[in-house]
Amino acid sequence: MKSIIPMFLGVMMSVFAIAQNPFTELVDKKADEIEAQVITWRRHFHQNPELSNREFETGKYIAKYMKELGLEVQTNVAHTGVVAILKGGKPGPVVALRADIDGLPVEERVDLPFKSTVKTEFLGKKVGVMHACGHDTHISMLMGAATILTGMKADLKGTVKFIFQPAEEGAPQGEEGGAELMVKEGVLKNPDAEVVFGLHISSGIPVGEIHFKKGSFMAAQDRFKIKVKGAQAHGSAPWMGVDPIVTSAQIIMGLQTIVSRQMPLTKQAAVITVGKIEGGVRNNIIPEEVTMIGTIRTLDLKMQDDIHKKMKRTVENIAESAGATAELTIQRGYPVTSNDPDLTGQMTPTLQRVAGIENVVLTRAVTGAEDFSFFAREIPGMFMFLGGKDTSPDAKSPPSHHTPDFFVDEKGMKLGVRTLVNLTLDYMEKRN
């Protein structure tokens, strides 16, 4: 028992030291005052969503406000992104805060007074556009954090980079974009950011809670395409050809056994999903070719490489056994989003102070992907989920992200603003 006491006291003294941040009460007061404005911003962005690499008006709106705050503003970063720099009155580290700004090709069904009715073209089709993943709240929370931190400029012990990032949902086909392009263009340089923080609102986490974990937190995301070639024949005489549809069905089932029977799932989760299959023109013709596309999700680099090898073997061998040929193409996408263990450990007491210890949840890794991973691959990063689920007794089960019925409770945003501001201030305090 005696050996535990010094460690316990050390942890408590660390928490106590962070709790003494002289700006805690001021930040809470300012967050209360700006909450209505943050909600107004959110509703504006929600009503005016734009797709990846097409966030022209969104970027202009953000840049205009950042300039009104008196910040140094860079526009057209990675096509449509905005970066604003706040130089504090005292020397210290450069802290980067990031929010994504793009919407999705989803037509909104939620009955809101600020519902999106925007239509545009996507992959040759007329589609609705919606902030179906909460990026409108991310923009607004970061604008709120920028407002509070700018008001504290004289006492700020360092510099803050506010990164408003386009194309988190993926750049259009044939284009570069998102965090990867921002990094390539040097967004973390001049001045050089020391750490980066980000958060993502969640419709499935109750308002008031923050979920996170050290290390691998969100999955790597790869895209794949499979072309299966057979021999065309009349549908009444399949033996006269080679059926690429049946072969494709066997390939799909074979891919599932890679995860269920060939991967050490007690180590990390993995997913292979075929999202689209296309082939044939009419009911009585066996086509010559079938195309499939899908996604791979992994949380471990070795497992990622193994799955790629096993997929090639499975696809080609099943096709050969049917007398067909198959070509697999894998495009590596976002890497694993990994929270730096040291940074996460240092900043956990901040989350506990801001949200309350009982509301800070150490969670499991998820198979969703985030291109925040490109920032966190360059410098120590910390990413977390913020509660956006309505907790009222009559609230319905929350719809999933990326769906027409996606909905988040705006009451969750104030905690997001407070979290971003306090992480910045506490990190600067630790480094001075």
- For the annotated catalytic residues, the residue numbers are 334, 410
| Beta carbons of 101 and 44 less than 8 angstroms apart | no
427 phi/psi in degrees, rounded to 5: -65, -45
> Which 3 state secondary structure label does DSSP give 153?
helix
> Which 3 state secondary structure label does DSSP give 397?
coil
CA distance 348 to 427: 11
Residues 6+ apart with CB under 8 A from 236: 284
CA distance 84 to 74: 6
Looking only at the bridges linking them, the beta strands covering 210-212 and 325-334 are: unpaired
430 phi/psi in degrees, rounded to 5: -65, -30
Backbone angle region of 79, left / alpha / beta, with phi > 0 → left and psi within -120 to 50 → alpha: left
What long-range pairs does 391-398 form, CB within 8 A, spacing at least 24? 391/206, 391/207, 391/208, 398/203, 398/204
Nearest to 299 by CA among 371, 378, 221: 221
> Which 3 state secondary structure label does DSSP give 152?
coil
| Beta carbons of 349 and 24 less than 8 angstroms apart | no
Q: How many CA atoms lie within 13 A of 77 on its CB side?
A: 27
Nearest to 249 by CA among 324, 304, 312: 324
| Beta carbons of 210 and 415 less than 8 angstroms apart | yes
N residues, the chain:
432
